Amino acid sequence: MENSEQRVFIGKIRSALGKSPNDLPGETDLCTSRLTDETRAILDRIKNRSDAERQQLLDRFIEMAAPIKLNVIVLKDEESVTAAIVDLVRKKDPEWGDQKSIVAWKHPLIGRLNLPDALAADNIPVHVTDLNDPRSEGLAESEKRDRLRKQTIDSYIGITSADFCMADTASLVMRTRPGQARSVSLVPSIHVGVIYFDQLIWDLKELCALISFDPDVRKESLTNCMTFISGPSKTADVEATMVHGAHGPREMYVYVIKG
């Protein structure tokens, strides 16, 4: 039930949007099923970006990432990312306990990093979130899920890719799929994201245009969940003091493959 304060608050929003109390949602809503001239222009801009404009996107991403404690590392190829992640794993210690283990998405890009082989000499297991993992053969579906859940909880680094990265807010955009669970980016103490240079877009408008009207993106459209992640977990609820890692990863790294 609305109270007087709520009505005042909503009234201010309506006024700022130039709406009257009698206005109802209609064709001018933010989300629309019609391809407008503005949206078509956005899609053309994305498709025809020059190398210089893409570099501007990367520069903006790095600029916006700094204040939110998001570490952005630009590298030339997958091999360089593998070496960087191995170095990170060796340098960072688990928040609890001494045993190091990694959990990673079942994803083409993450697979090309060959992390299990790269970390084999260190005896650090890399658990892949794949219910059809041959090592789970013979287990019931519920047992497979319990096994993956425990591996994720026990891991101190979670490695994912993303669908897009919005430069203007330094936000990874991740659609949930089989083998690409949200928990990998939310439960471990350190979240590592790996993306290609051409996955950078400017902002939410570009994302909405792609999801709604780009033929390649629309093949899948929205899955059952889409997550936006802007830096490590943070809260300032107690005495307005910023704390990282209160309800999620305390550190976050994004490797951008530019080669």
Q: Residues 34-51: pLDDT tens digits?
A: 788 899 999 999 999 999
- Entry pTM: 0.84
User: Is 159 in contact with 84 (CB distance < 8 Å)?
Assistant: no
pLDDT at residue 33, rounded to an integer: 67
CATH code reported for the domain at 32-230+244-257: 3.40.50.10420
Sketch the domain layout of the chain as residue ranges.
32-230+244-257
Q: Residues 82-132: pLDDT tens digits?
A: 999 999 999 999 988 889 999 999 999 999 999 999 999 999 999 999 887
User: What gap in Å lies between CA 184 and CA 105, rounded to an integer?
Assistant: 7
Q: Residues 127-185: pLDDT tens digits?
A: 999 887 777 777 888 888 899 999 999 999 999 999 999 999 999 999 888 889 899 99
Nearest to 81 by CA among 155, 166, 161: 161
Q: What single string gives the DSSP state of each residue in the chain?
A: ---HHHHHHHHHHHHHTT--TT----TTSSS-SS--HHHHHHHHHHHT--HHHHHHHHHHHHHHHGGGTEEEEEESSHHHHHHHHHHHHHHPPPSSSS---EEE---HHHHHT-HHHHTGGGT--EEE--TT-GGGTT--HHHHHHHHHHHHHH-SEEEE--SEEEGGGTEEEEE-BTTB-THHHHSSSEEEEEEEGGGEE-SHHHHHHHHHH-HHHHTT---S-EEEE-SS-EE-TTTT--EESSSS-SEEEEEEE--
At 27, is the pLDDT very low, low, confident or very high (cuts 50, 70, 90)?
very low
pLDDT at residue 30, rounded to an integer: 47
pLDDT at residue 235, rounded to an integer: 82
| pLDDT of 25 higher than 70 | no
